[in-house]
């Protein structure tokens, strides 16, 4: 596993980025956290959820969900995070 991937796994993603990683929509991510046991947390009072990459991977493995082309998605999300000013 590359260093870039290892560092990326430490991020907690917003629902939009988690949805891109899973190939679904943000409302589906919220439903998965509410009803299907995908771990998430709310860092502030505004209701935005965050999901850790390691939790997404574990969830996908538990339900036998195949990943879409993850390298492409990781690159897209890294670019998105960089544009948002996150390191």
Q: What is the pLDDT of residues 5-63, one digit of tens each?
A: 555 566 778 888 888 888 888 898 898 898 888 898 887 788 788 888 888 888 888 87
Q: What integer pLDDT is reported at residue 36 of this predicted model?
A: 86
Domain span at residue 69 reads 3-75
- Within-domain flag for 63: yes
How many domains are contained in the chain? 1
- φ/ψ of 69, rounded to 5, equals -60, 90
Please tell me the pTM assigned to this model. Answer: 0.63
Long-range contacts formed by 60-64: CB under 8 A, 24+ apart: 60/22
Residue 85 in any domain: the answer is no
Residue 71 in this model has a pLDDT that exceeds 60: no
- Give CA separation, 38 vs 2, 13, 42, in Å: 25, 13, 13
- 70, part of any domain: yes
């Amino acid at each position: 596993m590359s260093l870039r991937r290892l560092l990326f796994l430490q991020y907690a993603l917003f629902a939009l980025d988690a949805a891109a990683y899973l190939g679904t929509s943000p409302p589906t991510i919220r439903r998965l956290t509410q009803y299907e046991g995908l771990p998430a947390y709310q860092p502030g009072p505004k209701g935005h959820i965050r999901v850790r990459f390691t939790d997404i991977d574990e969830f996908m493995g538990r339900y036998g969900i195949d990943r879409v082309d993850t390298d492409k998605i990781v690159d897209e999300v890294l670019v998105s995070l960089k544009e948002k000013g996150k390191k």
